[in-house]
């Protein structure tokens, strides 16, 4: 069992105590509900009060979180910007901004680069049985590589995003550390924010399922006599 998008330290601790992997998102790590009722910040699970966010950040810093997740959930302006907050769809953009946000945390000394790689690439590949085809750089792997500039500073601009929705909760946020070149299976697909790949290069990623076998034998109450 994997617990996605945990928002409190209690949830993280409970999941790890039960032997589960648990992931968090940049928005639950970095934002709190003080943003108000702006529809850009409407998301499930919701943003928490700042004390809960700080405790989540502490659990993250202590290494209790096993994964970083983008929770990419784009919606069209018609879906996201309805007049009433209760009619607006839930979800934030995450794919194109998550790396810069977390590299900014690296630049601030709140996260090491090696831990970021482990949380965003190695651990997910292992959990979903894609390792070592994914999640590592070695002979025989897929050469999915992102080259980053840890000193490149900038501002997130939603007009430069490529999702079907460009309504970003991070619009105007300053970052330090950005991807400059992305390779998929050894081929450059994005360079300096510009898409270079041709349609058809992407491939559906298929897991390698485990061999079926009984588990938890002898665990639980004895059957009735």
Dihedral sign from CA coordinates of 8, 150, 199, 92? positive
The C-alpha atoms of residue 180 and residue 25 are separated, in whole angstroms, by 22
- Map residue 117 onto helix, strand or coil: helix
CA 17 to chain centre: 22
Q: Which residues contact 217 (CB under 8 A, 6 or more apart)?
A: none
**Residue given tokens 């700042």 in the structure block:** 50
What count of other Cβ atoms lies within 10 Å of the Cβ of residue 196?
13
Catalytic residue from among 34, 71, 151, 157: 71
Region of 55 on the Ramachandran plot (φ > 0 left; ψ -120 to 50 alpha; else beta): alpha
- Decide if 71 is catalytic: yes
CA 20 to chain centre: 17
Q: Do 179 and 147 touch, CB atoms closer than 8 A?
A: yes
Q: Which residues belong to the active site?
A: 71
């Amino acid at each position: 069992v994997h617990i996605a998008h945990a928002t409190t330290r209690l949830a993280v601790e409970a999941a790890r105590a039960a032997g589960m992997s648990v992931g968090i998102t940049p928005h639950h790590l970095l934002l709190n509900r003080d943003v108000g009722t702006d529809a850009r910040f409407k998301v499930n699970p919701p943003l928490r009060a700042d004390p809960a966010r700080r405790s989540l950040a502490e659990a993250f810093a202590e290494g209790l979180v096993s994964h970083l997740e983008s929770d990419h959930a784009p919606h069209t302006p018609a879906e996201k910007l309805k007049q009433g907050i209760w009619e607006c769809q839930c979800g934030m953009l995450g794919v194109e901004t998550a790396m810069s946000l977390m590299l900014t945390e690296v630049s601030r000394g709140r996260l090491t680069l090696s831990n970021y790689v482990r949380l965003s690439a190695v651990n997910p590949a292992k959990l979903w049985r894609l390792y070592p085809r994914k999640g590592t750089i070695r002979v025989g792997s897929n050469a999915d590589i992102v080259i980053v500039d840890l000193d490149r500073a900038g501002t997130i601009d939603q007009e430069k995003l490529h999702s079907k929705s460009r309504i970003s909760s991070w619009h105007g946020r300053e970052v330090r550390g950005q991807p400059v070149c992305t390779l998929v299976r050894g081929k450059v697909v994005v360079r300096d924010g510009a898409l270079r790949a041709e349609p058809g290069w992407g491939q559906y990623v298929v897991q390698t399922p485990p061999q079926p076998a009984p588990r938890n034998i002898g665990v639980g109450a004895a059957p009735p006599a």
